[in-house]
Amino acid sequence: MIKTVATTPFDGQKPGTSGLRKKVPVFAQPNYAENFIQSIFDSLEGFAGETLVIGGDGRYFNREVIQIAIKMAAANGFGKVMVGQGGILSTPAASNVIRKYKAFGGIVLSASHNPGGPNEDFGIKYNIGNGGPAPEKITDAIYARTKVIDTYKIADVADIDLDKVGTQTVEGMTVEVIDPVADYVELMESLFDFGAIRALIAGGTRVVIDSMGAVTGPYATEILEKRLGAPAGSVRNSTPLPDFGGHHPDPNLVHAKELYDDVMSPEGPDFGAASDGDGDRNMVVGKGMFVTPSDSLAIIAANATVAPGYSQGIAGIARSMPTSAAADRVAEKLGIGMYETPTGWKFFGNLLDAGKATVCGEESFGTGSDHVREKDGLWAVLFWLNILAARKQSVAQIVKAHWAEYGRNYYSRHDYEEVDTDAANGLMAHLRDSLASLPGQTFGALEVEAADDFAYHDPIDGSVSKNQGIRILFKGGSRVVFRLSGTGTAGATLRVYVERYEPDAARHGIDTQEALADLIAAAEHFAQIKTRTGRETPTVIT
Ligand code: G16
């Protein structure tokens, strides 16, 4: 039986950088998830009889919301739901399933790198038929709908068995529970030289992947241990757990420190990688070398043709504005297009669909390509392994050779988490107000050349996205960028991005924070971070 349930709007159901993310107790309020899902459906047209993909990263509350979403999809007239077994689909795998089976769209349940558990984070995101996050036009419509919603529709039926692969029926709608891993593995095998990577591992290169108790465990185990022959145990924390085993599944130098320390130790592995809650982020470390996400994008782009899926070359590169300009130099050398977008994977979708960009990446540990429409953690790891196998060099050798050829973009991000929202907004307003007076100002040897609030004009659909981050650009190409995160769930997170270009190879061995010290001081000087936020130091430095 289909029920129409009366409801009233909740405040604050505005999708952020990547969907709606809130604490579990917020999502667990009666009608909260239902309102948002119905608002998604009410913002779409033409899905009657079509297929919807549903999956999540296995975090706390995943199964509950999947049941709700399936019953609501049936009540709203979808013809079929494809759902990962156990409710599991990594974000890139969900993107792939949407594309491969030509689904109308998908609902991805995740709060990505944010912690999971009864009092931690949950999230709902809608992806469109190209497999990518819904563009702002749709997320704005969803938000508008959440403000006036008064009913939702749901099938009043027993829970669906999510653990058995196969087909069931809910109020005339087909529910197909699929193996979450198989399609993704097949895609990876079509892109990379598994034979060469297998030989690399058989030859003694020790590779470990830390899945951080999150969704990539089953994918990484199948690929690295079963297909590529790495010894059992090479994938660590490989079982997806509702609370990620207490880990903060954020692959960076703070939360993946154990892996980092292990790779850096003399007897440790040669290559380490970590991924996040929903499997779209990645961190890559080689012995003696942490690869910044910005460098990773540049190096993948520069070496792309070693991978069979990219042997014809790449059409262009896209990066988010705060990501370092390392990839720009590669694009210049290759004579291909370079696109600078706001933060948020959704901005890459049009460029990928139009064939303007083939690879894209963000400083926030995200790299991907036109094989799906999400960033893809394991894809980046396999790309690196393919490059290692083809070049027969270590990570450190490859990175250093890249810097010698293109110059080095010293780069760091300083995050101030859970800052008082008013204080953070005040800091940004202060910067905005001072934009006009900044050019010409000096700080030590630095002179401001230009300052603006980044706005993006989408070259494909002509849409304009304003207020995407304050840039202070110094003479010589260095810069500091300030933005407020759109993915946090408590207070505000101020992100300060610092970058200096160093062409001289003799100066490529400096400690990053030291190389950026004057720019970090300049950021404090112009933004008054300490006095405005009350924080003496950043919460996380990457
Ligand atoms: C999301 C987006 C990314 C973005 C990141 C950080 O990643 O998909 O495009 O770079 O958030 O965004 P912010 O700086 O606004 O916090 P994920 O992995 O959280 O889905």
259 has pLDDT over 80: yes
**Amino acid 517: pLDDT:** 97
CB 485 less than 6 A from any atom of ligand 1: yes
Kind of pairing between the strands at 492-502 and 408-419: antiparallel
151 and 241 co-located in one domain: no
Rounded distance between C-alpha atoms, residue 118 and residue 243, angstroms: 8
Tokens found for residue 444 = 């030590």
Mind listing the pLDDT tens digit for each residue in 356-396?
A: 999 999 999 999 999 999 999 999 999 999 999 999 999 99
- Give the per-residue pLDDT at 247: 85
Distance of CA 368 from the midpoint of ligand 1 (Å)? 13
For ligand 1, atom 13: residue with the closest CA: 485
Say yes or no: 115 and 193 in one domain.
no
Tell me: do 170 and 214 sit in the same domain.
no
- Do 504 and 426 share a structural domain? yes
Query: 322-350, pLDDT tens digit by residue?
Result: 999 999 999 999 999 999 999 999 899 99
Q: 465: which strand partners? A: 456
**Which ligand 1 atom lies nearest to the CA of residue 345?**
9
In this structure, the residue with its CA closest to atom 18 of ligand 1 is: 112
Residues 152-191: tens digit of each pLDDT: 999 999 999 999 999 999 999 999 999 999 999 999 999 9
How many whole angstroms from 345 Cα to the centroid of ligand 1? Answer: 7
Question: Exposed e or buried b for every residue in 458-486, given b needs 16+ CB within 10 A?
Answer: beeeeeebeebbbbbbbeeebbbbbbbbe
pLDDT, position 408: 97
Q: Is 365 helix (H, G, I), strand (E, B) or coil?
A: coil
User: Percent of the chain at pLDDT above 90?
Assistant: 96
Give mean pLDDT, residues 140-144.
97
Name residue 268's amino acid. G
Is residue 112 part of the annotated active site? The answer reads yes
Pocket test for ligand 1, best of 215, 363, 487, 494 (most atoms within 8 A of CB): 487
Q: How far apart are CA 502 and CA 513, in angstroms?
A: 14
Say how far apart CA 537 and CA 529 lie, in whole Å.
9
Which ligand 1 atom is the nearest neighbour of the CA of 281? 18
Residue 201 has pLDDT above 90, yes or no: yes
Taking the centre of ligand 1 as the mean of its atom positions, its distance from the CA of residue 123, in whole angstroms, is 13
Residue owning the nearest CA to atom 1 of ligand 1:
18
CATH of the domain at 50: 3.40.120.10
Active-site residue (options: 95, 112, 238, 364): 112
Helices (H), 288-413: 293-302, 326-334, 349-353, 377-391, 395-406
CA of 344 to the centre of ligand 1 (A): 6
**Cβ 125 under 6 angstroms from ligand 1:** no
486 lines ligand 1 (CB under 6 A): yes
Same domain, residue pair 398 and 416: no
pLDDT above 80: residue 133: yes
Non-local CB neighbours of 121 within 8 Å, separated by 6+ positions = 21, 22, 23, 24, 59, 111, 114, 115, 489
- Give the 3-state secondary structure of residue 173: strand
What is the 343 CA–ligand 1 centroid distance (Å)?
7
CB-CB contact of 363 with 324 (8 Å):
yes
Question: What is the residue type of 280?
Answer: D
Tell me, what CATH number does 487's domain have?
Answer: 3.30.310.50
Cβ atoms of 303 and 391 within 8 Å: the answer is yes
Q: What is the DSSP string of 482-504?
A: EEE-SS-SSSEEEEEEEEEEE--
Domain encompassing residue 66: 2-179
More confident residue, 108 or 247: 108
**What pLDDT shows up at residue 392?**
96
**Six token digits for residue 6:** 């009366």
Per-residue model confidence as pLDDT tens digits over 154-165: 999 999 999 999
- For the Cβ of 364 lying below 6 angstroms from any atom of ligand 1, the answer is yes
| Residue pointed to by tokens 């290759």 | 334
Q: In a 3-state reduction of DSSP, which class is residue 167? A: strand
Cα of 232 vs centre of ligand 1, distance in Å, is 32
Dist. CA 398–CA 410, nearest whole Å: 16
Under a CB-based contact definition with an 8 Å cutoff, are residues 427 and 532 in contact? yes
Yes or no: say if 255 and 287 are a contact pair by the CB < 8 Å rule: no
Based on the fold, state whether residues 173 and 300 are members of the same structural domain: no
Asked if 147 and 107 sit in the same domain, the reply is yes
Query: Could you read off the pLDDT of 394-437 as tens digits, one per residue?
Result: 999 999 999 999 999 999 999 999 999 999 999 999 999 999 99
How many other C-beta atoms can be found within 10 angstroms of the C-beta atom of residue 8? 9
The position carrying tokens 């494909």 is: 460
Q: Whose CA is nearest to atom 9 of ligand 1?
A: 344
| Domain closes at, from 115, 146, 179 | 179
Residues 6+ positions from 203 with CB-CB distance below 8 Å: none
Q: Which of 406, 423, 442 is the last residue of a domain?
A: 406
Element of type H or E holding 455? none
Q: Are residue 17 and residue 162 in the same domain, yes or no? A: yes
Q: Does ligand 1 come within 6 angstroms of the Cβ of 344? A: yes
Atom of ligand 1 nearest to the CA of 133: 8
Show the tokens assigned to 344.
Answer: 């948020």
Residue 263 · residue 137 · CB < 8 Å: no
Identify the residue whose C-alpha is closest to ligand 1 atom 7: 18
Q: Are residues 441 and 375 in the same domain?
A: no
Radius of gyration over alpha carbons of the chain, in Å? 23
Distance (Å) from CA 488 to ligand 1 centroid: 9
Ligand 1 center to 18 CA (angstroms):
6
Nearest to 97 by CA among 44, 42, 45, 54: 54
pLDDT in tens, 108-131: 999 999 999 999 999 999 999 999
Residue 488 has pLDDT above 80, yes or no: no
Q: Of the residues 388, 406, 424, which one is the last residue of a structural domain?
A: 406
Dump strand ranges (E) for 227-270: 235-236
For the chain, the domain total comes to: 3
Give the mean pLDDT of 90-110. Answer: 98
Same domain? For 215 and 350 the reply is yes
Helix 182-191 to helix 377-391 angle, to the nearest 10 degrees? 30
Residue nearest to ligand 1 atom 2, measured at CA: 344
Q: Of 68-72, 414-418, 484-488, where does mean pLDDT reach its minimum?
A: 484-488
Does residue 248 or residue 209 have the better pLDDT?
209
Is 442 within 8 Å of 519 (Cβ atoms)? Answer: no
Q: Is the CB of 341 under 6 A from ligand 1?
A: no
Same domain, 161 and 190: no
Kind of pairing between the strands at 105-109 and 540-541: unpaired
Question: Residue 414 has what pLDDT?
Answer: 97
Are residues 88 and 222 located together in one domain of the fold? no
State pLDDT tens for residues 434-456.
Answer: 999 999 999 999 999 999 999 99
Nearest CA to ligand 1 atom 3: 344
Q: Is 281 in the pocket of ligand 1 (CB under 6 A)?
A: yes
> Atom 19, ligand 1: which residue's CA is nearest?
112
Choose which residue among 109, 276, 343 to substitute to test ligand 1 binding: the one with the highest number of ligand atoms within 8 A of its C-beta: 343
Q: How many CA atoms lie within 13 A of 422 on its CB side?
A: 0
Q: Which pLDDT value is given to residue 107?
A: 98
What pLDDT score was predicted for residue 489? 73
Tens digits of per-residue pLDDT, 16-26? Answer: 878 999 999 99
Q: What is the rounded distance in angstroms from the CA atom of residue 307 to the CA atom of residue 304?
A: 6
Calculate ∠ Cα 295-244-215, nearest 5°: 60
- Over residues 266-280, mean pLDDT: 96
